Chain A
Amino acid sequence: MHRRTFMAVMGALAASAALKPAMAEGKGTVYYMVPTLLDEFQTGSVSALEMFLKQVGYEMKTLNADNKTEMQQSQMNDTIALKPAAIILAAVDFNALKPSIEAARAAGIPVVEFDRQITSTPSDFTSVAGTVEIGYIAAEETQKLLTAKHGAVKGKVLQVLGDPGDPYTLDIQKGFEEKMKAFPDVTIISKPAMQWEASNAGTIVADAVVANPDIDLIFSHAAHLSVAAVASLEAAGKKPGDVMMMSSNGAPVGLDLIRKGWLNVEVEQPLYAQAAAVAMFMDKIVNKQEIKAGEYDVLGLKSTVTIEAWGPNIKIPGAAITKDNIDNPSFWGNLKPPTDTIKAVE
């Protein structure tokens, strides 16, 4: 009996040893530290990164930090012990993860910053649309919308932020307000939707439209906040077009609201291109080869790699989605992943 058990265990070990080379056939495992799975952009990023990395020979595993900095730090520490080919980090907190990035790199593991740029310490690669830049694009669109309504850039804007503890929303606000500063006739009322929770945004909008019936534009920092904002406007008897609306991140819900006439503009984060860029450069990152500055074509988008103090940084332009270009399949909110296979940068 004991001999039989012993033989069974040995057999299992031999089988697992035989399986290992097959599993390690690819170029290695890359860990993706996703900040949360409670938001469509982040869940979309998991599948996009997985798809593109597979195309260039990497397996991807995802760890969800549930928006908790300390959890992401622990995940980083655990992952360093596993010695993966690389770590892709979308940081919960832009500064708090600095020691973890340094520890990973000291252990010889390349770290890629995805979507959320960390400038306080070097990384091996950064792929961002630029959160501040999203604010810039939103400001440009605001100027166009207010001009179309009033003949000049003036009026009242309600800015519905995400959670005020999230640097992502604060960066968008920074970019937006920086560009809008040039227009003193525009009043911006900023309110945070705690924990990015939709009904909080709904309450803010319900109160704001009563207290400020002259609000021209509502700018929400995520498309799902716009859904609740629309519900509140509808409950207040408003119709599509009564109040101009804009949101950012390009989620499917935002595109849906444009099609229904509620939303004027959705500022897209080029999710597919951001993910594709990481995969295109992954060989160079893993093999610690030089990444050259210059222009690269990422899924048809002209993207620029610059060598910054924090390492190679690719910036992919965001886009303003309106009813005129909404059906463009490259917008991730249309949920049509690119069919072309990407190629690793040589």
Chain B
Amino acid sequence: MTPQTRRRVEFILDNLVWFMLIFVLAVFSAFIPNYFQPAIFANIIEASSVLGVMSIGLALVILAGQMDLSVESVAALAAMGVGILFCSAGIGLGIKLTPAWLAVPASLLAALGIGAIIGLFNGFLIVKAKMNAFIITLAAYIWVRGLVVAISGGRSAQDLDPAIRFFGIQRILGLPLTAWIAILCFVAFSFMMMKTPFGRHLKMIGGNETATHRAGIRVSRNLMIAFVLAGATAGLAGWLLTVRTSGATANLGVGMLFNAFAAVVIGGVSLKGGVGSLPGVYAGVLLLSSINTAINLMGLPANVTQVIHGLLVLAAVMLDTFKQTIRRSLA
């Protein structure tokens, strides 16, 4: 194989998830009535915003060779926190700030704060107390959701403050601001992972924690930051969820953890850590969202959609495995 051909193959493999996305969009556009239109593509990007932001945090800890199963529940708690504070109906307290736009930074701060505190707590138990990340975050997945039910009493908050809801309605270039927030997050975190020492160190830790420690890099500190960032991004995902649904219910976000994992894996992040990139994760999120939209538009019986969803995700992951096989044969 000539070096030029090899480079081309490697380029395709590095960006396979994007090619898969383009292929899937082309097939759906060709065969599903009403799929090929700007409003549907805008819906795909908009529907990806919550899952996308949640997947960023999850990808960070996975890249660092850790695990965070709590992101879904953390997002739900942040959503419920914002809902209770800034919704005016149901269990919402309807807090009004003057000027009205102050509700935006205040609610963001609340959501990010809730997420960061839980991330810090998880990080402390995992990094400092050397407890197992899977168990600790699984416990958090359960107790944080329990806290959502406890503080809400199973009831919901709705009618979000218009200043916050503005982000779900106002559009720029056909996309709601929530979608732009997710895109900005991907750009910022991708830059952080690729261009800053912290990002590079995180991947090194995921690749070989002992070697990274011996190289003089502060592993514990970086891992703590990764958990706090995972919590904070989950909090932001919760904020977006509240904006998107104009309120919060006790079961908000249920099932998102598995989609986030699927997106991260489809996006090429190795569950063993150290391998993967955030743009790939975004492509994974968009791919899942495209599939969801396709299912929504197809006239399929309701009870088979979950099977189709699962099989399509499986196909995407199998393709990714195929990619790894080719890559190994090239090495």
Contacts and interface: CB of A to CB of B under 8 A. Distances in A.
B27 interface: no
Interface in A30-65: 36-40, 42-43
Interface string A150-161: 000000000001
Given A38-B254, A256-B90, A207 B245 contact: no
B296 A224 contact: no
A55 B254 CA distance: 37
Contact of A253 (B149, B156, B168, B244): B156
Interface string A256-298: 1000100000000000000000000000000000000000000
A230 B156 contact: no
Interface residues of B, number: 45
Interface residues of A, number: 43
A228 B90 CA distance: 14
A206 B46 contact: yes
Contacts of B252: 197-199
A207 B296 contact: yes
B276 interface: no
B253 A192 contact: no
Contacts of A231: 165, 168, 244-247
Interface in B288-305: 292-293, 296-297, 299, 301-303, 305
B270 to A, nearest CB: 28
B95 interface: no
Contacts of B301: 190
B43 interface: yes
Contacts of B241: 199
B168 A43 contact: no
Interface string B74-97: 000000000000000110000000
Contacts of B247: 198, 227, 231, 253
Nearest to A255: B89
B296 A256 contact: no
B156 A224 contact: yes
A203 B290 CA distance: 11
Nearest to A223: B156
B190 interface: no
Nearest to B39: A210
Interface of B: 33-35, 37, 39-40, 43, 46-47, 50, 89-90, 149, 153-156, 158-159, 165, 168-169, 176, 241, 244-247, 249-255, 292-293, 296-297, 299, 301-303, 305-306
Given A43-B154, A206-B43, A234-B168, 6 more contacts: A40-B156, A190-B301, A192-B302, A195-B255, A235-B169, A256-B90
19 contacts: A39-B249, A39-B250, A161-B302, A164-B305, A190-B302, A194-B255, A194-B306, A195-B254, A197-B251, A224-B249, A227-B246, A227-B249, A228-B244, A231-B168, A231-B244, A251-B156, A253-B89, A253-B156, A256-B158
